[in-house]
Structure 1
């Protein structure tokens, strides 16, 4: 890894402004990336800071709802502590539009000082020059170094051995379970937590036992017409086989077809339409679990606030290992420096300090279910007291993200393309073999498309 030369210290500044200075909620356009990245569109993309106070540190993120309020609390905390920050926070609509607008601003060289990026999208931004590197020396001055992150997450912050992202969290695809149902089904260990499974057969048996315990369904999984759920489940299980899923630029996809077929066949067995439903959409699955008509649910940890509100004894665990290797599908919200043509050294230093201070506030972020990427937080007694969050913190050790390429990652066309054949297989409309062949074809098709920002 390389680090840039330290930048000079900032000049004296006015006393900190308590709390948020500005908070703007903006909707982003939904036009295609190619059209939005045309030269004419870029020429009119103004610097966010210029829209208000040029002295404020401009920050973009997609956090609304409960996460947005937690981000407010964290920004207020770092602003109130010692020499704080004057923050101009812009909240954009989550989804493809967020990433298009981020690319537009960075390609124009007049982006925000800091932005939030899913780590799975880094390969579409860093190689294209849309992000500027993180200065590891400056970051270390503010108490944050590589050793503060798990190797599984840190390795995805890099392109060509240069670090471009500072992870805030790890948000994994995990299992939630009804503790009463799991206890009745004999699935808990002596400490009252979910016992290891260790094989596909054990998970199939667990589904049957949970169905008997609830009198309804064993495992619920909402996936119909969803743009990510099927891929999350497949990617977790496929990684557990030890097989690689590689999408090399200028080449054909490298996918272990036999391993992929084994995984899809297992998914079909698990969601057989009898023990566990095969035809739930996302919200139907969520409702079925919260109404206690399913003993276990496959969901992202971000659903924790909704599930806790249901009021029953709730357990959670990293996605169980059923094949040969532990692996949990995850992503990570990370702080990045969108490319600027002429960045001010003092503002760049403040951007590093802002990211470091926000990491140290991530116990607040963990209250919504996210695993802090900054490992010192996990060692705090307060984190151990967060239940069930601390029960699945080990997922960060075996984190698996999307295969890196410009078209993969959160809210991407790749995930949509992978979900469609998987849905057909789960609904019984096609075989596991045909579904995998379609996944290979779709991967090859995407590899042949030109990167619109290269």
Structure 2
């Protein structure tokens, strides 16, 4: 399956997929505090031969990269053999809770920041504190939001693997034909609008606005932070995207449509497809398309940090993290071997980065090996401005309302302020219901 389609399924992981997980696992809000027996937390493994299972939703090029890394690990560690199973994310969150409940769950899993709280609350995954301690990991090793994203109710459930964030893709070939400098993508609102005007004078709609979560919803969140707002209140009990900052952000997007810089009713992924065929010039798109654009023959696509349309930096992002599913057999050898595999994989950051990711650890992101991957450097530079979903059980259901509101405004069905207020009110009810369902 292509990376493009893969990301559509990822969208289900925080909302519908989480809901499926809850249905499969039954309703309990008490997060598990004890991990299976695990020896030295994965610092090493010298036990008998074991085979461990590893589940994830990496169906695109990242899955191919992960399998190659697993093969490398298996060759180097004959006493620990890893069998990797890949599912589309929607299926992953259907199968995982049911498998754990029946005692047939995997030994290791990988999921996103916004999936971890719900899975922890439902006792699908267990604490991974011993791995973090054995590896000597600490907050200063990571961007704070990445590190904190693996924590739920004061306990660590995730070991960060990567950061995947939004960036600016721009069609250098079309820019040059329109008389713009292809080596100077816009960095500010004034530069952005000036270049759009130049493109418009040449008959080119240069910044297509997607009404869908991928990637219009992520563009809105980035702009919201750039204008000084936030998605939720500091205690995550209420949606705040309908603030003045949110209205400014969404109005800017809608005005791109109203003023002819973007077509109306842009289809799912049409903004990105148009970038590749020369009809769109600036696309706010995820890092996961970096490898795809390098294969183009007719057009040259560049990548850059997101322009600051507001007064500060703001970038949507997420992170894959290793988790330990709950096990009934409590096999100490498999538990320690699983931790050892996690330890090994997180040290291979440069290899994993080739699937178009920024290493989660700061020192690895600054390594010469990673810096040699030049197409990823603008994304790495934006990690300092990147925001991640909050560590709240069921948060994906509330975020789904945000994306519905953005869609309504971008499709010109509602005014930005009305769309944001309507969606925020719906999200507030979900947040209140989730608090009762999962506890504080």
Q: Under TM normalisation by the shorter chain, which class is it?
A: 0.7 to 0.9
How many matched pairs? 402
Using a 3 Å threshold, how does the CA distance of structure 1 residues 193 and 186 change in structure 2: closer, same or farther?
same
Task: Say which of 219, 224, 239 aligns to 1:233.
Answer: 219
User: Are the aligned partners of 2:57 and 2:89 in contact in 1 as well (CA < 8 Å)?
Assistant: yes
Structure 1 residues 175-194: aligned runs within 5 Å? 175-182=168-175, 192=183, 194=185
Counterpart for residue 340 of structure 2: 353
Counterpart for residue 65 of structure 1: 60
User: Are the aligned partners of 1:78 and 1:84 in contact in 2 as well (CA < 8 Å)?
Assistant: no
CA distance in 2, matches of 1:139, 1:435: 42
Normalising by the residue count of structure 1, what TM-score does the alignment of the two structures yield? 0.78
Is 1:118 equivalent to 2:106 in the alignment?
A: no
User: Are the aligned partners of 2:167 and 2:378 in contact in 1 as well (CA < 8 Å)?
Assistant: no
CA distance in 1, matches of 2:148, 2:141: 13
Is 1:171 equivalent to 2:164 in the alignment?
A: yes
Structure 1 residues 284-323: aligned runs within 5 Å? 284-311=270-297, 312-323=299-310
Counterpart for residue 14 of structure 1: none
User: Are the aligned partners of 1:165 and 1:336 in contact in 2 as well (CA < 8 Å)?
Assistant: yes
Normalising by the residue count of structure 2, what TM-score does the alignment of the two structures yield? 0.81
CA RMSD after TM alignment: 3.2
For structure 1, the 5+ residue unaligned runs are: 1-27, 40-53
Is 1:419 equivalent to 2:403 in the alignment?
A: yes
User: Are the aligned partners of 1:234 and 1:263 in contact in 2 as well (CA < 8 Å)?
Assistant: yes
User: Are the aligned partners of 2:210 and 2:410 in contact in 1 as well (CA < 8 Å)?
Assistant: no
Using a 3 Å threshold, how does the CA distance of structure 1 residues 229 and 243 change in structure 2: closer, same or farther?
same
Using a 3 Å threshold, how does the CA distance of structure 1 residues 111 and 430 change in structure 2: closer, same or farther?
same
Alpha-carbon offset, residue 170 of structure 1: 0.9
Structure 1 residues 260-409: aligned runs within 5 Å? 260-272=246-258, 274-311=260-297, 312-341=299-328, 343-409=330-396
After the TM superposition, which of the residue ranges 313-322 and 253-262 deviates more from structure 2?
253-262
Counterpart for residue 44 of structure 1: none
Using a 3 Å threshold, how does the CA distance of structure 1 residues 203 and 107 change in structure 2: closer, same or farther?
farther
Higher helix share: 2
CA distance in 2, matches of 1:324, 1:381: 32
Counterpart for residue 415 of structure 2: 431
For structure 2, the 5+ residue unaligned runs are: 1-12, 28-48
Using a 3 Å threshold, how does the CA distance of structure 1 residues 296 and 84 change in structure 2: closer, same or farther?
farther
Using a 3 Å threshold, how does the CA distance of structure 1 residues 234 and 107 change in structure 2: closer, same or farther?
farther
Using a 3 Å threshold, how does the CA distance of structure 1 residues 32 and 165 change in structure 2: closer, same or farther?
closer
CA distance in 1, matches of 2:358, 2:208: 23
Counterpart for residue 204 of structure 2: 216
